[in-house]
Amino acid sequence: MIVWITGASSGLGLHTARQLKLAGLTVVAGARSFEGREGEGEEGYRLPLDVKDEASMDRFVERALSLYGPPDALCCCAGVLTLGACEEYTRREFVDVLETNFLGEALMVSRALPLMRKAGRGKIALFTSINGLLGVPYQGAYTASKHAIEGYAECLRMETAPFGISVCVVEPGDHQSGSQKYRRHARTKDPESPYYADYQKAVSQIAHDEENGSDPDILGKRLARALQRKRLPARLIIGKADQHLAVLLHRLLPARLFSRLLSFYYMRHF
């Protein structure tokens, strides 16, 4: 099986690429940092890829096709997180997160899909997050981008099913793989911000949860197993029990009560 994977140089993308290769899959690993470093690596065959640059996407596709032929699967893992208050994100910060996390996935899909339709089969795994199911304070732009992928994936799944293509949203909880390189801070980091005190509490809790999060290699192994099945599941929620519980409570509790509980967890006020 030939798998194209984006965001393969760090975080969950790196761990996923490694596990796919260890499972015996042929992995074409794309990332910006692979510029000038093309060749075989622990992640698979490295190719430069910037998911915010369509010309870079086209070069990746052309080179991957010349090396291995069309993909059997596409895994979109590239992502960036900018922490801040919803009010205080700049337009540029919103655009940067959405271009990377949402458009980067959608535009890679648009390049892989014609090849899969021609073959009459294919598998697409789109990385969202638990944040694609519920909001977390001071992750507004990131959460918006992940919700966008969730809705996009539902449409994509229905449209591509007649062509033998299955679509899965991978919804990780906190994992021990966060890269500070792709974690930015909006103006809320400024002590003059009216949100500053709560922001500091929330960021501290977020960092604690990631440091004590799940093993990212387990996620990679689960996705490797899923890709080797006849069809992908519609979704893979991968995280600790408390994160699964949060998703369940989000569905069951009144919205105001759930928001109050989450506010207490992240900012210590109810």
Full-model pTM: 0.92
pLDDT tens column, 147-165: 999 999 999 999 999 999 9
pLDDT tens column, 30-89: 999 999 999 999 999 999 999 999 999 999 999 999 999 999 999 999 999 999 999 999
Higher-confidence residue of 66 and 185: namely: 66
Q: Within a 10 A sphere around the Cβ of 178, how many other Cβ atoms?
A: 20
Contact 101, 80 (CB under 8 A): yes
Residues of the chain with pLDDT > 70, as a percent, come to 96
Residue type (1 letter), 115: L
| Residue indicated by tokens 């062509």 | 163
pLDDT value of position 182: 45
- Residue 236: HSE in the Cβ half-sphere, 13 Å Cα cutoff: 22
3-state SS of the chain is: CEEEEECCCCHHHHHHHHHHHHCCCEEEEEEHHHCCCCEEECCEEEEECCCCCHHHHHHHHHHHHHHHCCCCEEEECCCCEEEECHHHCCHHHHHHHHHHHHHHHHHHHHHHHHHHHHHCCEEEEEECCHHHCCCCCCEHHHHHHHHHHHHHHHHHHHHHHHHCEEEEEEEECCECCCCHHHEEECHHHCCCCCCHHHHHHHHHHHHHHHHCCECHHHHHHHHHHHHCCCCCCCEEEECCHHHHHHHHHHHHCCHHHHHHHHHHHHHCCC
CATH code, domain with 129: 3.40.50.720
Contact 102, 145 (CB under 8 A): yes
Q: Within a 10 A sphere around the Cβ of 268, how many other Cβ atoms?
A: 11
Q: What is the mean pLDDT of the chain?
A: 93
- Quote the CA–CA distance of 236 and 129 in Å, as a whole number: 10
Confidence of residue 136 (pLDDT cuts 50, 70, 90): very high
- pLDDT (mean) for 161-178: 90
Q: Would you say residue 137 has pLDDT above 60?
A: yes
Q: Would you say residue 179 has pLDDT above 80?
A: no
Query: 219 forms bridges with which residues in the sheet?
Result: none
- Catalytically annotated residues: 142
Q: Within a 10 A sphere around the Cβ of 226, how many other Cβ atoms?
A: 18
pLDDT value of position 269: 75
- pLDDT (mean) for 250-267: 94
In the chain, how many domains are there? Answer: 1
Confidence of residue 180 (pLDDT cuts 50, 70, 90): low
Q: For residue 251, what are the domain limits?
A: 2-267
Q: Would you say residue 132 has pLDDT above 60?
A: yes
pLDDT tens column, 194-243: 999 999 999 999 989 888 888 999 999 999 999 999 999 999 999 888 88
| Residue indicated by tokens 């596709």 | 61
Among 31, 34, 15, smallest CA distance to 23 is for: 15
